[in-house]
Structure 1
Amino acid sequence: MTFIGRLRPLLIAWPAAGLAAGAAAHLAGHETLAATLWTAASVPVLVVLAIEIAVSLRRGDFGLDIVAALSMSAALAAGESLAAAIVALMYASGQILESFAARRARQEMSALLSRVPRTAMRHHEGRLEEVALDQLEPGDRVLIRRGDVVPVDGAISDSVAVLDQSALTGESLPVRLKSGDTALSGSTNAGDAFDLVATRRAADSTYAGIVRLVASAQASRPPMARMADRYALVFLAATLVLAGLAGWLTGDPVRVVAVLVVATPCPLILAVPVALMSGLSRAARAGILIKSGKALEVLAQVRALVIDKTGTLTDGEARIVDMRVSAGIEPAEMLRIAASLDQASKHIIAETLVAAAREQGLVLSVPAYVEETPGEGISGHVDGRTVSVGGFRYVAGRVGEEQLNDLSRAREPGAAAVAVAIDGKAAGVIIFADVLRPGTEKLLRDLRAAGIERLVLATGDRADVARLISHGLGLDLVRAEMTPDQKVLAVLSERKHGPVMMVGDGVNDAPALAAADVGVAMGARGAAASSEAADVVLLVDQLDRILPAIAIARRSRRIAVQSVVAGMGLSILAMLAAAGGYLLPVEGALLQEAIDVAVIFNALRALRG
Structure 2
Amino acid sequence: MVRDRLKTALLAIAAFGLVAGLLLWTAGLGDMATLVWSAGVIPVLAALVVEIIRSLARREVGLDIVAALSMSAALVFGETLAAAVVALMYSGGTFLESFAQGRAQREMSALLSRVSRTATLHRDGQLTQVPLDDIVPGDLLLIRQGEVAPVDGTVASGNAMMDQSALTGESLPVRLSQGATVMSGATNAGEAFDLRATHRAADSTYAGIVRLVRAAQNSRAPMARLADRYSLLFLGVTVALATAAWWFTGDPIRAVAVLVVATPCPLILAVPVALVAGLSRAARFGVLIKGAKPLEAMARISTLIVDKTGTLTDGRPRIVSIHATGGMPEDQVLYFAAALDQLSQHPVAQAVVAAARAQGAALPVPADVVETPGEGVTGTVDGRAVVVGGTGFVAARSGGAPWDMAAQEPGAVLVAVAVDGRPAGWLVMADSLRAGIGDLLTGLRHQGIARIVLATGDRHAVAMSVTQGLPLDAVHADLTPDQKVLLVLSERKNGPVMMVGDGVNDAPALAAADVGVAMGARGAAASAEAADVVLLVDRLDRLPPGLAVARGARHIALESVIAGIGLSVMGMIAAAFGYLTPVQGALLQEVIDVAVILNALRALAIDTGQPAETV
RMSD between aligned alpha carbons? 2.2
- Of the three residues 597, 600, 603, the one matched with 2:597 is 600
Aligned with 1:265: secondary structure?
Answer: coil
Q: Distance in 2 between matches of 1:356 and 1:205?
A: 29
Partner of 2:132: 133
Partner of 2:115: 116
Aligned with 1:378: secondary structure?
Answer: strand
Residues 262-291 of structure 1: CA deviation (Å, up to 9, x unaligned): 111011101110000000000111111011
Confirm or deny that 1:84 pairs with 2:83. Answer: yes
The AA in structure 2 aligned to 1:33 is: M
Aligned with 1:264: secondary structure?
Answer: coil
Q: Distance in 1 between matches of 2:155 and 2:372?
A: 32
| Structure-to-structure mapping, 1:340-379, within 5 angstroms | 340-379=339-378
Q: Distance in 1 between matches of 2:528 and 2:234?
A: 39
Partner of 1:232: 231
Aligned with 1:559: secondary structure?
Answer: helix
Partner of 1:410: 407
Partner of 2:186: 187
Whether contact under 8 Å (1:524, 1:531) holds in the other structure is no
Shift of the 406–417 alpha-carbon distance from structure 1 to 2, 3 Å rule, reads closer
| Structure-to-structure mapping, 1:192-271, within 5 angstroms | 192-271=191-270
Partner of 2:445: 448
Aligned with 2:408: secondary structure?
Answer: coil
Q: Distance in 2 between matches of 1:47 and 1:68?
A: 12
Confirm or deny that 1:169 pairs with 2:168. Answer: yes
C-alpha displacement at 1:6, in angstroms? 4.6
Whether contact under 8 Å (2:317, 2:347) holds in the other structure is no
Q: Distance in 2 between matches of 1:435 and 1:427?
A: 25
Structure 1, unaligned runs of 5 or more: none
Residues 35-66 of structure 1: CA deviation (Å, up to 9, x unaligned): 23322322222222111101111111211000
- Of the three residues 500, 504, 521, the one matched with 2:501 is 504
Shift of the 5–214 alpha-carbon distance from structure 1 to 2, 3 Å rule, reads closer
Residues 412-441 of structure 1: CA deviation (Å, up to 9, x unaligned): 011111222222211221221111111111
The AA in structure 2 aligned to 1:595 is: I
Q: Distance in 2 between matches of 1:165 and 1:315?
A: 20
Q: Distance in 2 between matches of 1:316 and 1:283?
A: 25
C-alpha displacement at 1:214, in angstroms? 1.1
Structure 2, unaligned runs of 5 or more: 607-615
**Larger mean Cα displacement after TM superposition, 421-430 or 577-586:** 421-430
Confirm or deny that 1:309 pairs with 2:322. Answer: no
Whether contact under 8 Å (2:403, 2:426) holds in the other structure is no
**Larger mean Cα displacement after TM superposition, 126-135 or 313-322:** 126-135
| Structure-to-structure mapping, 1:30-69, within 5 angstroms | 30-69=29-68
Residues 461-508 of structure 1: CA deviation (Å, up to 9, x unaligned): 000000001100021100000011111111112112211111000111
Whether contact under 8 Å (1:466, 1:480) holds in the other structure is yes
Aligned with 1:83: secondary structure?
Answer: helix
**Larger mean Cα displacement after TM superposition, 579-588 or 29-38:** 29-38
The AA in structure 2 aligned to 1:253 is: P
| Structure-to-structure mapping, 1:364-513, within 5 angstroms | 364-400=363-399, 403-405=400-402, 408-513=405-510
Partner of 2:573: 576
Aligned with 1:388: secondary structure?
Answer: strand
Partner of 2:609: none
C-alpha displacement at 1:90, in angstroms? 1.7
Aligned with 2:443: secondary structure?
Answer: helix
Partner of 2:289: 290
TM-score, normalization: structure 2? Answer: 0.93
The AA in structure 2 aligned to 1:251 is: G
Whether contact under 8 Å (1:267, 1:563) holds in the other structure is yes
**Larger mean Cα displacement after TM superposition, 454-463 or 201-210:** 201-210
Confirm or deny that 1:560 pairs with 2:576. Answer: no
Q: Distance in 2 between matches of 1:343 and 1:273?
A: 54
Whether contact under 8 Å (1:205, 1:525) holds in the other structure is no
Whether contact under 8 Å (1:209, 1:525) holds in the other structure is no
**Larger mean Cα displacement after TM superposition, 305-314 or 494-503:** 494-503
Aligned with 1:99: secondary structure?
Answer: helix
Q: Number of matched residues?
A: 606
Q: Distance in 2 between matches of 1:467 and 1:72?
A: 68
| Structure-to-structure mapping, 1:317-328, within 5 angstroms | 317-328=316-327
Partner of 1:95: 94
Whether contact under 8 Å (2:503, 2:523) holds in the other structure is no
The AA in structure 2 aligned to 1:119 is: T
Partner of 1:549: 546
C-alpha displacement at 1:163, in angstroms? 3.0
**Larger mean Cα displacement after TM superposition, 42-51 or 254-263:** 42-51
Whether contact under 8 Å (1:272, 1:560) holds in the other structure is yes
| Structure-to-structure mapping, 1:23-34, within 5 angstroms | 23-34=22-33
Whether contact under 8 Å (1:336, 1:362) holds in the other structure is yes
Shift of the 380–14 alpha-carbon distance from structure 1 to 2, 3 Å rule, reads closer
Aligned with 1:540: secondary structure?
Answer: coil
Partner of 1:332: 331
Partner of 2:613: none
C-alpha displacement at 1:527, in angstroms? 7.2
Q: Distance in 2 between matches of 1:170 and 1:407?
A: 47
Aligned with 2:596: secondary structure?
Answer: helix
Shift of the 66–335 alpha-carbon distance from structure 1 to 2, 3 Å rule, reads same
Whether contact under 8 Å (1:371, 1:378) holds in the other structure is yes
TM-score, normalization: structure 1? Answer: 0.94
C-alpha displacement at 1:330, in angstroms? 2.5
Q: Distance in 1 between matches of 2:434 and 2:288?
A: 21
C-alpha displacement at 1:180, in angstroms? 4.6
Shift of the 408–125 alpha-carbon distance from structure 1 to 2, 3 Å rule, reads farther
Whether contact under 8 Å (1:415, 1:432) holds in the other structure is yes
Shift of the 445–63 alpha-carbon distance from structure 1 to 2, 3 Å rule, reads same
Shift of the 398–14 alpha-carbon distance from structure 1 to 2, 3 Å rule, reads closer
C-alpha displacement at 1:87, in angstroms? 1.3
Q: Distance in 2 between matches of 1:374 and 1:177?
A: 28
Partner of 2:534: 537
Whether contact under 8 Å (1:209, 1:524) holds in the other structure is no
C-alpha displacement at 1:111, in angstroms? 1.4
Residues 538-576 of structure 1: CA deviation (Å, up to 9, x unaligned): 011110000000101111111111111111111111111
Aligned with 2:454: secondary structure?
Answer: strand
Q: Distance in 2 between matches of 1:565 and 1:392?
A: 68
The AA in structure 1 aligned to 2:446 is: A
The AA in structure 2 aligned to 1:510 is: A
Q: Distance in 1 between matches of 2:138 and 2:223?
A: 47
